Amino acid sequence: CLWLKFSSSLILTKSPGFRSGTKYCLFRGKMKRKLVVYIIISTVFSIVALYFSFKNVPFTALLRYINSINYIWAALGGGVAIVSLILRAVRWQMIVGAIRFVTFWDAFHPLSIGFMINNVFPGRTGEIVRPVILKLRSRRISFTSGLATVAAERLMDLVFLVVLFLYIFYTIDLASGKDFDVSGYHVNRDILLTVLKGFIFLGIVLLMAILALGFQQTRNLSIHLIYKIPALFFFTGVSFKQKISQKLCAPLVAGIEHLSLGFSLVRQPKRIYITSLITGVIWITQALSFYLVALGCPGLNLSFPEITATMILVCFAIIPPSVPGYWGLWEAGGIFALSLFGVTHQEAVGYTLINHVVQLFPVTLIGMVSAWATGMTLGQVSMASHRMEANKV
């Protein structure tokens, strides 16, 4: 929620149409401070992660290892990563289709541009940009509803990753009480289980929120409770209660209605089933991409399940704030995961670096091509974001 609010505010700050008077100056100053704080925090996270990742690896030895990699396998891994991106567009098209039909390209271009922006700008702004571009292209889906479809998509990813995380306990020999020494830090089954419980709790909370908005009965109850808020200020006059109703309750109810459209998927079991299958294929394809890169790296004699476990731990590692492209946290997560399988530090660093480039470069390039093909610029997206905020759509 914090980064969604920050990202949307950051886009609005850059909008030329928002620049009017003292209000804009105060808003802009506040957003600049937020941006500086976010950049400082994310940079510190990434620098610390990079330091611990590379501190025990001689630079010349790392270069020799990188030169020994078979890049044909890396190229194949990059091709499979593109297939995964295409599958994500198909899945998002189906999720959005629960509201209104959109073409594959209406889903593909916003998604690829959003992923590209996540790789080159801070704040994971790409998740906000996606529904903005979707509205500009389709003209029929509100920004709030589009944002809700992104949230539903991310929930599917989280659920599938948690299921795969459970698989780690059958893939890695983590007997209770057995510790693994990872760069001076001790990790055991109990620690990983605690992390898993946290993500399961988060998934349950998100699922309950989506169900509450997706069904008419629970949504009506939420709206009824919102309209009861002015009654809590019984000690104030009628005019103040009316302001609360107009300024707080009405926007909240409008937001709930738009969000409920985005979560229309929960009322269509067949569509949930198909998108769940696609989600499984997406992550299997993503793991295959990781595995193909590993085949070209000397010293990485890991099975497909072990590489899948590595991918999962990388995904959880890049959740905290980091510089664009998740540099530092990606490497730390990959090296930590590979160390659990007995891979040497040098080989783990070499593989993780090359795999990081393989996963990011094709997606970023495709996003740039999509931006060129659609004629979308950051200025257009910023101005559209401001208009949507002003109109509460």
The string of DSSP codes covering 301-361 is: ---HHHHHHHHHHHHHHTSS--SGGGTTHHHHHHHHHHHTTT--HHHHHHHHHHHHHHHHH
Q: How do residues 18-54 score in pLDDT, each as one tens digit?
A: 344 444 344 345 545 555 555 565 566 556 655 555 5
**pLDDT confidence of 79, banded at 50, 70, 90?**
very high
Q: Does the pLDDT value for residue 10 go beyond 50?
A: no
28, 13 in Cβ contact below 8 A? yes
pLDDT at position 282: 96
pLDDT at position 84: 96
pLDDT at position 391: 54
Report the chain's C-alpha Rg in angstroms: 23
What is the pTM (predicted TM-score) of this model? 0.75
**pLDDT confidence of 221, banded at 50, 70, 90?**
confident
DSSP at 249: I
Poorest-confidence range of 133-147, 173-187, 283-297?
A: 173-187
pLDDT at position 8: 38
Q: Does the pLDDT value for residue 248 go beyond 90?
A: no
pLDDT at position 22: 44
pLDDT at position 25: 46
**pLDDT confidence of 93, banded at 50, 70, 90?**
very high
Q: What is d(CA 48, CA 56) in angstroms, rounded to the nearest whole number?
A: 14
pLDDT at position 81: 95
pLDDT at position 16: 40
Q: What is d(CA 374, CA 109) in angstroms, rounded to the nearest whole number?
A: 8
pLDDT at position 83: 96
Q: Does the pLDDT value for residue 182 go beyond 60?
A: no
378, 365 in Cβ contact below 8 A? no
pLDDT at position 309: 87
Instruction: Report the mean per-residue pLDDT for the chain.
Output: 76
Amino acid identity of residue 243, one-letter, is K
Q: Does the pLDDT value for residue 318 go beyond 90?
A: no
Q: How do residues 188-197 score in pLDDT, each as one tens digit?
A: 566 666 766 7
Percent of the chain whose predicted confidence (pLDDT) is above 70: 68
Q: Residue-wise over 246-256: b if at least 16 C-beta within 10 A, else e? A: eeebeeebeeb
Q: How do residues 338-355 score in pLDDT, each as one tens digit?
A: 887 888 888 888 999 999
pLDDT at position 132: 87
How much is the average pLDDT of 276-289?
94
Poorest-confidence range of 124-133, 177-186, 221-230?
A: 177-186
> Reduced to 3 states, what is the DSSP secondary structure of residue 242?
helix
Q: How do residues 361-389 score in pLDDT, each as one tens digit?
A: 999 999 999 988 888 766 666 555 555 55
Q: Which of 26-35, 152-161, 181-190, 205-214 has the highest mean pLDDT?
A: 152-161
Nearest alpha carbon to residue 115 among 306, 304, 360: 360
Alpha-carbon torsion angle 13, 376, 132, 91, nearest 10: -140
Q: How do residues 96-131 score in pLDDT, each as one tens digit?
A: 988 888 899 999 999 999 998 888 876 677 888 888
pLDDT at position 26: 41
pLDDT at position 392: 46
pLDDT at position 111: 94
Q: What is d(CA 294, CA 307) in angstroms, rounded to the nearest whole number?
A: 8
pLDDT at position 177: 44
